[in-house]
Chain A
Amino acid sequence: MSGQQIGTVIGGAIGAYFGGPAGAQLGMAIGGMIGGAIDPTKIYGPKIGDGQQQTATDGAPIAWVQGTALVAGTLVQVSKRRQIRHKDNGKGSGTEQVTFTAEQDFAILVCESCELRDSSMDSVLMVLQDGKIVYDVRDGKNYGNQGIPFNGNYAHDVASVVLDMSDSFKMHCDFMFGGEDQLPHPTLEAITGVGNTPAYRGSLVAVFKNFDVSAAGDRIPSF
């Protein structure tokens, strides 16, 4: 019960004792004001919490794929969640809006992709995020920016291109195809350090960088 509610009840009781029904009404109003001033009602907006995440299970089998198959991945590495502050000055409206999003780096082991066992994967054709297609490079699909192949680096001209769905997804995701000369991914090395990070040779791993988990329901979505 808030201070305003407690003050209303007490003020109403005192007012009724001294002034009858009219006094009760006046007492409730004054009591509510005093109670509200002493202990104001606080309304908290949503905060960045720890929503339900895609989890990793000890002993979960690694999928072995022949041809093309849809497989669920296992989370193998996760960074801390970090809060990103966005400020909008309202373009002269006098109201400044501050919003927060949360980003996280993580890696999902998809399936075996091993040169030594002749099970190398050639490409990832489609990715589903919580059941929705977010990446699709199958034949006949409109991948890329009007036919310009994506080179994986938008460092200098990110504003000059219009990104389609798959390009946007690829900006925050690298696929590692498990080659025997594969080196650890820099994003994962930033989490666990050089020398402590597996290269994931022999496995197909998707590495997500600066992934906006707040847009995905405040959690790492299921892929």
Chain B
Amino acid sequence: MIGRPVADAKAYGREPYRKTLDGVMRDGFGDPIPKDQMRVGDAVTLNFHRKDASHVGILGDYRYGGLSLIHTYALGERKVIEHRLDDEWAGYIFEVYRP
């Protein structure tokens, strides 16, 4: 989906351990770009009420204008979901990576 080979992480923990997720993202995409430059197709890490990134999503093209977020979300319907990136969800974005 993002046009890059993705290394399989066999030891996927329930919680990211000591910025492991940040390391994997940097290895794959390089350094993050500023949040105000994010656009469709970027990969983003999110953090919910914590210091480090704990979740990953892809920015999509929202059909009514603006950006959407495509991700799997255990607290939602337990499947891949897409929804509008509103201010609350934009606030959860931790870092933005350009593939």
Contacts and interface: CB of A to CB of B under 8 A. Distances in A.
B84 A80 contact: no
Contacts of A193: 81-82
Contacts of B89: 186
B2 interface: no
Contacts, number: 58
A184 B75 CA distance: 19
Contact of B48 (A79, A155, A186): A155
A194 B62 contact: yes
A86 B46 CA distance: 22
A80 B75 CA distance: 10
A210 B88 CA distance: 14
Contact of B64 (A80, A155, A183, A191): A183
Give chain A's interface secondary structure class. Answer: loop
A92 interface: no
B54 to A, nearest CB: 12
Nearest to A154: B49
B78 A82 contact: yes
B87 interface: yes
A151 B78 CA distance: 29
Classify chain B's interface size: 20 to 34
A103 B75 contact: yes
Contacts of B64: 183-184
Interface string B43-67: 0000111000000000000111000
A189 interface: yes
B62 to A, nearest CB: 7
Contact of A155 (B49, B75, B76): B49
B91 interface: yes
Contact of A194 (B68, B76, B87): B68
A152 B78 CA distance: 25
Interface string B63-99: 1100011000101111001111111110110000000
A82 B83 contact: no
A195 B84 contact: no
Given A183-B64, A195-B63, A190 B87 contact: no
Given A183-B64, A194-B63, A156 B84 contact: no
Q: Which 3 A-B pairs have the closest CB atoms?
A: A189-B83, A186-B83, A155-B91
Given A152-B87, A155-B47, A183-B84, 16 more contacts: A79-B76, A80-B77, A153-B87, A153-B88, A155-B48, A156-B49, A158-B49, A184-B64, A189-B83, A190-B73, A190-B76, A190-B81, A191-B76, A194-B68, A194-B83, A210-B75
26 contacts: A79-B76, A79-B77, A82-B75, A103-B75, A152-B87, A152-B88, A153-B87, A153-B88, A153-B91, A154-B49, A155-B47, A155-B91, A156-B49, A156-B91, A158-B49, A183-B84, A184-B64, A186-B69, A186-B86, A186-B89, A189-B83, A190-B77, A193-B81, A193-B82, A194-B63, A194-B68
